[in-house]
Chains A and B, each alone.
Chain A
């Protein structure tokens, strides 16, 4: 079936604005992960969901970042009062189950630029 999809593919916003990034996981995958990748670095974990609940949000950098997955499928990452340092590629991944042995499949990412 289709892979992980993310929208928008690119987002340009101004400092202080609010943004929402969407992730549509592979159908049937119960676990969903958000990572952030800055230029020249590896992806860094933000938060992951098992079903509808956030199982681990220890990677969220501060309280401006929030994510939801109300129906256990699509997830939205929300960033309030954006700062220039938030500019990065936001990657979503999903896996069949939330287990440490499961492969995570990544979406194409949303490239966020905060001016």
Chain B
């Protein structure tokens, strides 16, 4: 089946440093969603990207969708301890149903 690969698996940063996680699909996506999951919690929706080359910002978070709609990234500027958690991308493809296919997630740890 279709898969979404996400890197890195883990990232340790010092508070104030930037952080980026990347997702890649071998085939063109219909759209991609990003979720954040705190330790012991459930995935919380952050954003959906639909258009080729789309860039969306939420405060210190910047989300990008590649021109070919095969890759996406989430960048956090000046991380804070509240950013700790696992960030998942989840993709959907045309004619492949409405379910989300999640990447493996990137676990972000922030040292104060």
User: What residues of chain A have their CB less than 8 Å away from a CB belonging to chain B?
Assistant: 31, 33, 35, 41-45, 48, 55-56, 58-59, 91, 95, 98-109
Does B98 make an interface contact (CB < 8 A)? yes
Please determine whether A107 and B48 come into contact, CB atoms closer than 8 angstroms: no
Please determine whether A45 and B103 come into contact, CB atoms closer than 8 angstroms: no
Q: Which residue of A lies closest to B43 (CB)?
A: A106
Please determine whether B97 and A104 come into contact, CB atoms closer than 8 angstroms: no
Q: How far apart sit A98 and B48, CA to CA, in the bound complex (Å)?
A: 16
User: What residues of chain B have their CB less than 8 Å away from a CB belonging to chain A?
Assistant: 6, 30-31, 33, 35, 41-45, 48, 50, 88, 90, 92, 94, 97-105
- Other-chain residue from B50, B99, B105 in contact with A42 (beta carbon distance below 8 A): B105
Q: How far apart sit A59 and B97, CA to CA, in the bound complex (Å)?
A: 12
Q: Which residue of B lies closest to A33 (CB)?
A: B99
| Chain B: minimal CB distance from A18 (Å) | 25
Secondary structure of the A side of the interface? loop
Known: A41-B105, A91-B42, A108-B42. A59 touches B99 (CB 8 A): yes
Known: A41-B104, A43-B102. A103 touches B31 (CB 8 A): no
Q: Which residue of B lies closest to A48 (CB)?
A: B99
